[in-house]
Amino acid sequence: MFTIEAPLRVTVGDIFEVAVTIQNTSRKPQTLVSIDIWDRYLAGIAIVGSNPPFRQAYHVPLDNTVSHEFDREIPGNGSIVVTLTAEALAPGDYDSYFDACINTGFSYLTQPIRTLVEPRRPRRPGR
pLDDT in tens, 57-101: 999 999 999 999 999 999 999 999 999 999 999 999 999 999 999
- Write down the pLDDT at residue 50: 98
Phi-psi region of 83 (alpha: psi -120 to 50; beta: other; left: phi over 0): beta
- Write down the pLDDT at residue 26: 96
Sorted by sequence, the CB contacts under 8 Å of residue 61 that are 6+ apart come out as none
How many residues in the chain?
127
Question: Would you give the DSSP letter of residue 77?
Answer: T
Q: 106, 99 in Cβ contact below 8 A?
A: no
- Write down the pLDDT at residue 33: 98
The neighbour count for residue 58, using CB atoms within 10 Å, is 10
Domain ranges of the chain: 2-118
Mean pLDDT of 22-42: 97
Q: Is the pLDDT of residue 108 over 90?
A: yes
CA 13-54-115 angle, 5° bins: 35
Q: 68, 20 in Cβ contact below 8 A?
A: no
- pLDDT-derived band at 122 (thresholds 50, 70, 90) equals confident
- Write down the pLDDT at residue 126: 64
Q: Which of 45, 35, 33 is nearest to 68 (CA)?
A: 35
Question: What's the predicted TM-score (pTM) here?
Answer: 0.92
Q: Of the CATH numbers 3.40.50.1100, 3.30.410.10, 2.60.40.10, 1.20.120.1770, which one belongs to the domain with range 2-118?
A: 2.60.40.10
Q: State what percent of residues in the chain have pLDDT above 70.
A: 98
